[in-house]
Structure 1
Amino acid sequence: MITLTLTPVSTLEASSSTQFTLPHHHSTPVQHSTWPSTFQVPWDKTRPSLRTCLELRKRPEETDRRHMVRVTVDAMREICLNPTLSQCADVALSIIEQYPDCFEDRTDEGDRMGSGHFTLCSQFKTRIDNLNRNNTLARLRKPKRPAVAVENSLPVPSRKCAKTDCYGCINWQPSELPEGETRNSLSEKEELKSTFTREGQNGADKARVNELMMITYEAQRRDINTSPAPSIDQLKTVWPFLFIKRFLIQHFNTLTGIELESRLRESISGKGRRVLHFFKSQLMRWRKEVRTLLADTERVSEDVDPGLAAILVMMAFFKEKEDSLFLLADVTTTQADSETQLSLPSTPRIILMGKIPILDLHYH
């Protein structure tokens, strides 16, 4: 026989209220975006061997460095579960400023390649992304853009969410507009387009154009970041001056905080030293032309840019003709004559004395 027991509803309600409780969601650490300025690396949690290297201003072992990255990221995520790349860069910069000799980038030969700021920043962000791989609540999202069409403008951005930051960029999409500007104001964009239509690339020399290109950076990024991405032809129509070398480099500098031309020169010079060192260390392996060129560069090493010398050595090694890359000019040629002869756009200029470059690369 089955016996049924009836229980009053009030009793069930009381019982359920005592037995079941709503689950508490894990609270996500939230902090103001300026927290990196006051962030303290927990050095006391790092390995003693690393702290010893820091005191002696020596480079720590790679295992100690990786452990320091893990400890630092754990401390950062106690404040913010998913720090942005720019926030990681701020923390990395504070470490580099405190210990400049301990974390700089060096080659296998011991030559200094950089301060180590970007490498350390990348290690922080990579570690953070790995920890947040399966954590959808910690992903960075930006608000949906309103689907408002503007006549004669780029395609309307989709309402799809996207990341708010991108590797290597410090100003991916500005959140603030220049003073006195609104998103509905297209006068600056139209003025740039009309100037380009009227004067072409010569308008790039005008101070007003330079001013407007800086003011409209936010609008340029907004158009570039639309989804689906616009074509190059569409961007050329809306921002014609953006594809002139001067303003493209200016845009890149604002986007990444890197002076492209100076960084390129430094990189070519640094890599050139490594290339020359390699060729000189195995001198007897090379053909006569390569050995002669290496001897010439060694003889007047103080007057030779290592990057250009390395290019000439590699051209000799691969049997490339010099006029395939360089425009040659007589050393007695005046500056005005050189500008007339070497007027091709974006062409490297180098004046040679025999085989030895005595003038750095120059771009028109």
Structure 2
Amino acid sequence: MQAGMEAECIQELRKVIPELESENFLALVEHLSSELGLTKKADLALLEPDDLQQHLKPILRRRLIQAFRPVVDTDQPIILSTIPDEQTALFPSLDTQLTPTSTPPRTQSHSSRFPSTRPQNAWISQFEIPWNKMPASLLKATLRGQRARPEDRRAWKRTVVSAMQEHCPNPNKAACDEIAKMIVSKYPSTFADMTEEDEQLGVGYYSLAKQLKTRVEHANRNNVSEKIRRPRIMSQTSDDGSTKTVRCKVDSYGCINCQPKCVPEGETSESLEDRRKDIMAIFQSAGPRAVDRPDVDESMRLTYIYQRHMLNSCPPPSISVIEEHWPFLFTKRGLCDHFKALTGIDICDRVGEALQSKGTRIINFFQRQTQNRDIQHLLRDIESNTTAMQQSRTGIAAVLLLMKHFQEQEGSIFLLADATATKRSIETDMTLPSTPRLIMLGNTFLLATKWMVSIEGRVAYVLEEHLGFADALSVFFGCFYVFNIEYQEPACATLELIQRFFMRINPEEGTKCTAKTGVSRKTGAVVKRKAEAINSRVASFLHQLTEFEWKNLD
């Protein structure tokens, strides 16, 4: 496709023959541009049937010729006989009255039907996205279902905002969200927030909406009269300093089977209680290794509804109480099997693959970027520690780099303990927080080779020595879902990136951290947190990673 062919011209062609497959349509455009010399919309009226014989069947050729051939030999614009949906809704009786050279009297009918005072974003219903001004290379990407190149995305963003400002000088966030949603719904493969596995990231239009709003603010940076910011109203806090519990009543965030309704066939509440007691007896006699027994596995599967009933109860039971009733949940296999029933995901396989492939990409990204001194210092440590197990070192390094990038302290996820420490010594000598922590046993985080997980101030999991970091991270992360625990605010960005990028859990209903306040990464002061569909720092990093890999394709 030649760059000289106007995007508006290509759009008009696509409107007339929408059923033509993308590859055939691109071949037609290439033929019209390179062989016939067609460059603008007016040239379409000069086409002859023989010009299209090699690319279109007879009916499509006739349709295309008829669409662009002038009805009369004048300079009047060509008006197609199809009626826009908006006109049909406002003027249903005019459906058969329009001719190719007449237009409905919209102005008078519209003004008489609607009052002069309109809601702030009423203009959106009249807004038409300027598809005809889309760059030719971007249009080609939409037709082929490809991702937009960064430079095309920036140019398109400026074009859309300029069109929006013709209706409203300073569109608000809700307007940007709606316009972004319209764009993404038409070309999701090109504009939507997607993972590399072609799964939608959250609502899908978060990044585009944010970029549109940023462009609006940039365009209005010197236009004081159009600023719509209102004075802040400081919220009042309770005098008793009470805080919200970190355990949720029922957290279905990203789950497919959070609260099952039906008891398994052949079971009753009494039989499930009997199975629970049998499980406890087996644990007391055989210990946690009995989790691999087929009868234990079957009983844990059948009592899943019973387990969720307790885990979702309000007020939530303590971890100690849960362990008394369901001891096998506090083994790696018991937790991971429950996580799979809850989310449909084999967490160990998913985390292991992600840490190895995506972890390497994250390290490569930071190694080839100009970063702050903390990240550079960590990269030097990563390069010098070649004695650690390669797979575990890659995963640990990736997570530590992410925490440095998000300006989150290692202690908000990891705790370092001596390699010889035991469960009892850790609980005695260390102050363990209420939210989950992954305890790393070794001289440094990178050199750790043994792992424990703590919840509510006590060690809940001691992983076997042959297990690696991927297994440890799986147990740590799985606790947030199995036990309905919100992400701790000091580590919310890293945890959400693990969830969306590594685990590929992408619900649309917001984030798993609902804290109203947090500590500013810049000033250290307590600030009010915004409610977001997706953590803005996570979305920004994933966008940077995608652009970096795009620019560095071999």
For Structure 1 versus Structure 2, the TM-score category normalised by the shorter chain is 0.3 to 0.5
Query: TM-score w.r.t. structure 2 length?
Result: 0.32
Considering Cα pairs closer than 8 Å and 6+ residues apart, tell me whether 1 or 2 has the greater RCO: 2
Query: TM-score w.r.t. structure 1 length?
Result: 0.46
